[in-house]
Chains A and B, each alone.
Chain A
Amino acid sequence: MRGENSEIKFLGLGQILLASFLVFVLLAVTLIKKVWSWAPFDFISGILSVALLITFMLIVQPFAKKFEGNPVEALKFISAFLFSLILISFVFKNLINVTKQDNIVVPSLYGDVVMTNLFSVIYIFLVAVIFSIFMKVLFLGRGREVKVKFILTLAFFAIYLSFTDLFESLSKMLRAVVFEPGIAMIILFFLFMWISIRIPWVISLRKREKYLVLLFSSLTFIFVIFHGSPLITGGGAEALRFYSPLLFSFAHYYFDTFIGVYSFFVFVSTIFHLPTTEIYERKVAELSTLQNIGKLVAQMLDIREFSETALKIAMEITNSKSALIEIKLAENEIIHRGIGTDTEKLKEITADKNLDKHLVVNFDDGDVLIAPLIAHGKTSGYLSLMKKEGGFDADTLNLALAFADQIAIGVENYKLVMESIEKERLLREFELARQIQKKLLPGVLPKSNKFEMSALSSPAFEVGGDYYDFVIHKDGNLSFIVADVSGKGVSAAFYMAEIKGIFQSISKIYKNPTEFLLAFNDAVYGHVDKKFFITLIYAYFDVKNGSIQIARAGHLPPIFVRGKKVEFLKPPGPGIGLMETKMFERYIKPVKLKLEKDDLLIFYSDGVIEAMNKSWEEFGYNRFADFVLKISEKETDKITRLIFEEIEKYREGEQTFADDLTILAIKWKK
């Protein structure tokens, strides 16, 4: 890299040295010419000045390169440099005194010769700059064809030159054989027209650029005419002719004509393409919009990036100066983004506007468009754009509104994607809660030759509120519980875990059912959300004596079967957590049973009684009692399973109202 750079520098230095050398030789030659006017001197100064021109052109190449592919800027600079060229000529016209000497105009004094040199060097430099830039424009978007034509013009110019006084002897010969120099000039003129007829870069210009091109090309044309006019450049031009007749010819016949013709064609071509600008711009905009929407879709998962890109695209397709977007994702999640210099002003204008429909507000010398982002009838924010210089025309407005719709759909899709991700997450959490809950229930039930015990539980949803558990005391007696937490879902599972903790700890201290319930109520009342309460059955099972004490706290009455008699045990007791323990105490009255062989007790949750069939009938107590009586002689394992199956059958596959279902059966064997 460094090597390359120094090489370029070295090259530049060489060119500058060469140029300086040429300048001094030219000064010397012109000074001699002043004293001794000899024709070959004109020839030498001509060749030298052209060499100087080419050297200057090489020096300014890096500068000219900037205008590659940028014809508007190029034309602007061409007209500006042409203007300075005219200005310089005009200034030096009054500084250089010329006198006529044998039909040839020469500078009056040696001082004038030096001035002529100074003027000419500046002049050549400016011509080099202009011509370099001009060639960039000329070659833009065209292939070899233009280069061939260009060389042809140079060749014809050379032919034309040979007619002039410069090559007197050759000229005489040609004039005799072929034609007048005027004809050569005309042919050159047509060559310029031929080369200028195709200007491909005009088509793809934007409207504003086309207006600029019209301005600059007409200025260029006018300046070229001025440049040729003796009124403005008069003496300067004469001095230049003295300095280098060849360069004078080049500047006035080739350079002026070429640029003049070309700028004229640019002007005409631009006017010709002006009406198609809109269509062209629209097509380009549509294409880029399509590409951009593709970009937008790719950013679906990052709403901030999405809004940023949307803003940029909106500004691009509408040619707006400032843009603001607000996207409301949730009640307290609003995304704000602004691009451009006037976003504060935009915010102000947009602030108090009703966003049901789009709105165009006049502002200074432009418009502000406020477009609501509406998809599926829901407004999810707004897009506002500020466009100066004439504001929004109908087409741009439609484009902006269509794009606002695209954004709205994008936002809506983003929300949907996020929702489904959230849903997925919730499902996983539910699954986790369900697994935890499953672990809260005992894995194995106590076994004994004195009794059978079986349980079955199936939660209605992912997480249910039913719970059963037992504790084996040191003396071999049992405490067990069947409970139901009000509500469902994850919160119910939480309370269930709490019940397990309370049950496992309290039942070891307070075996007595009344004491147990009071302690339980104390632990729950006032410590959990008022909405939640617990219904439960607590039983203390004296295995040695074959007796059982049952306390009910708001729960469904357990079924008791002895022989062919079935009974619902309803010892009084309100639900846990409904009232203060002091008050609660008054209403609890446990029941005590002395068990006989084959006595059957079934504890259950409301899923059993409230199971519904298709005609809105509940399974109910009577049906339940009848069914239990029918199967009471079977083992408890079978009993629980048969009840479950009977309820499933009763529901007739109707799952809509499926509730938690828990069945716990105990049969006394001794």
Chain B
Amino acid sequence: MGKREKNFDVLVSDKNSIKILKLKGYLDAYTSLQLEELLRELIDSGNFKFVVNMKDLSYISSAGFGVFMAFVDETRKNKGDIKFSCLSEKIDEIFELLGFKHIFEVYKSDEEAIKSFEKVGSSDVKKKRK
């Protein structure tokens, strides 16, 4: 009987200055430290737009949500945001129960999430022109 491990992994990719984080595995009080560190680094190096893909995320604890809460204000202050995509049914329900959907934008796919950033970006430009 092998011991199960709390595997957690993040795959980072770029698309038009948007960082796409593909989460995988088990995001709990312990593995969330790893995600927190990663986000801290990315934000410190000037990235403020994030799409978090949760397709392969099998579990998220309240501490996992806490990580996003910790950074969302900072990204928004810098004209960025944290958006979510591809929630599994289970995680979608947790989003619903926690009321996270009132705080974060949730999309069906990465593309939609990225597009939503572009809209905000162009409207910003328009505002500036005015």
On whether the two chains bind one another, the answer is yes
Cα distance, A358 to B52, chains bound together (Å): 48
* B73 within 8 A of partner (CB): yes
* B12 within 8 A of partner (CB): no
* Chain A proximity mask over B47-83: 1 for CB below 8 Å, otherwise 0: 0000000000011011101110110010000000000
B61, B70, B99: which contacts A574 (Cβ < 8 A)? B99
> Given known contacts A486-B62, A574-B102, A575-B98, is B70 in contact with A656 (CB within 8 Å)?
no
> Given known contacts A573-B99, A574-B102, A575-B98, is B1 in contact with A484 (CB within 8 Å)?
no
Return chain A residues, CB-CB under 8 Å to B129: none
The answer to whether B97 touches A557 (Cβ under 8 A) is yes
Cα distance, A531 to B74, chains bound together (Å): 13
Closest residue to B29 on the A side, CB-wise?
A488
Q: Among residues 533 to 589 in chain A, which have CB atoms less than 8 Å away from a CB atom of chain B?
A: 533, 535, 553-557, 570, 572-575, 578-579, 583, 587
* B103 within 8 A of partner (CB): yes
The answer to whether A530 touches B63 (Cβ under 8 A) is no
* A610 within 8 A of partner (CB): yes
The answer to whether A486 touches B66 (Cβ under 8 A) is yes
* B4 within 8 A of partner (CB): yes
Q: How far is the CB of B69 from chain A (nearest CB, A)?
A: 5
The answer to whether A587 touches B97 (Cβ under 8 A) is no
* B115 within 8 A of partner (CB): no
The answer to whether B66 touches A574 (Cβ under 8 A) is no
Q: Among residues 85 to 113 in chain B, which have CB atoms less than 8 Å away from a CB atom of chain A?
A: 97-100, 102-103
Q: Among residues 58 to 74 in chain A, which have CB atoms less than 8 Å away from a CB atom of chain B?
A: none
The answer to whether A532 touches B66 (Cβ under 8 A) is yes
> Given known contacts A583-B102, A614-B1, A656-B4, is B66 in contact with A533 (CB within 8 Å)?
yes
Return chain B residues, CB-CB under 8 Å to A366: none
* A487 within 8 A of partner (CB): yes
Return chain A residues, CB-CB under 8 Å to B126: none
* B128 within 8 A of partner (CB): no
The answer to whether B103 touches A578 (Cβ under 8 A) is yes
The answer to whether B59 touches A610 (Cβ under 8 A) is yes
* Chain A proximity mask over B20-60: 1 for CB below 8 Å, otherwise 0: 00000000010000000000000000000000000000110
A487, A570, A656: which contacts B66 (Cβ < 8 A)? A487
Q: How far is the CB of B40 from chain A (nearest CB, A)?
A: 12
The answer to whether A487 touches B99 (Cβ under 8 A) is no
* B130 within 8 A of partner (CB): no
Cα distance, A616 to B25, chains bound together (Å): 12
> Given known contacts A579-B103, A583-B102, A656-B3, is B65 in contact with A486 (CB within 8 Å)?
yes
The answer to whether B1 touches A533 (Cβ under 8 A) is no
The answer to whether A531 touches B102 (Cβ under 8 A) is no
Cα distance, A542 to B7, chains bound together (Å): 47
Cα distance, A132 to B59, chains bound together (Å): 93
The answer to whether B59 touches A535 (Cβ under 8 A) is no
Return chain B residues, CB-CB under 8 Å to A555: 97
The answer to whether A578 touches B98 (Cβ under 8 A) is yes
Cα distance, A488 to B63, chains bound together (Å): 8
Return chain B residues, CB-CB under 8 Å to A535: 62, 98
Closest residue to A576 on the B side, CB-wise?
B99
Q: How far is the CB of B93 from chain A (nearest CB, A)?
A: 9
> Given known contacts A530-B70, A531-B69, is B62 in contact with A484 (CB within 8 Å)?
yes
Q: Among residues 618 to 670 in chain A, which have CB atoms less than 8 Å away from a CB atom of chain B?
A: 654, 656-657
Return chain A residues, CB-CB under 8 Å to B65: 486, 533
Return chain B residues, CB-CB under 8 Å to A484: 62
Closest residue to A489 on the B side, CB-wise?
B29
> Given known contacts A556-B97, A610-B59, is B102 in contact with A487 (CB within 8 Å)?
no
Cα distance, A489 to B65, chains bound together (Å): 17
Cα distance, A578 to B65, chains bound together (Å): 10
Q: How far is the CB of B110 from chain A (nearest CB, A)?
A: 25
> Given known contacts A487-B62, A614-B1, A656-B3, is B73 in contact with A530 (CB within 8 Å)?
yes
Return chain A residues, CB-CB under 8 Å to B102: 574, 578-579, 583, 587
Cα distance, A669 to B98, chains bound together (Å): 32
A485, A535, A570, A574: most-surrounded residue (chain B CB, <10 A): A574
A-B contact pairs, 6 of them (CB 8 A): A530-B66, A530-B69, A532-B66, A533-B62, A553-B99, A574-B99
Known contacts A486-B66, A554-B99, A574-B103, then 6 further A-B pairs from the complex at CB < 8 Å, ordered by chain A residue? A530-B66, A530-B70, A531-B63, A533-B65, A557-B97, A578-B102
